[in-house]
Amino acid sequence: MITIMETGDSYEFLTAADGLRNAGIPFTGDEHYTGEFRPSKIAQAPYVWTLLVPENRAEEARQVLDGEPISGPAAVHLMSHDTAAREYSTTEKVLLLAVSLILLSGIVLLLKK
């Protein structure tokens, strides 16, 4: 087994692993504790994740990863769903209004105490 990817981003690791799984390429992952917290746009835990594949499938795995959008589940969901505005039914609108009023009432009661 050889390393084809090392990252401090767990979302990137999981997205890459999913791409390899979908392509039928066997892989294994490893994680190790670095002991340091890395602040960034998204706080990163002090771990590094490594993705390993059989040496004879490494080139194929790199091609799969080069074609995968490795940018986290949120971005994947945004790209895979229809971006048109959703129309809510009257019932959904009434329920949303009711929940909002209940929450607002609770906040008002807490502020009065």
Q: Give the per-residue pLDDT at 68.
A: 54
State pTM to two decimals. Answer: 0.50
- pLDDT of residue 13 exceeding 80, the answer is yes
Q: Which residue has the higher pLDDT, 86 or 39?
A: 86
- pLDDT of residue 90 exceeding 80, the answer is yes
> pLDDT tens across 17-51, in order?
888 888 889 998 887 766 665 555 455 556 788 88
Q: Give the per-residue pLDDT at 56.
A: 92
User: Which DSSP helix (H) or strand (E) runs through 106?
Assistant: helix 90-112
> pLDDT tens across 51-82, in order?
899 999 988 888 888 875 444 443 343 334 44
CA distance linking residue 10 with residue 49, whole number of Å? 7
User: Which DSSP helix (H) or strand (E) runs through 62?
Assistant: helix 58-67
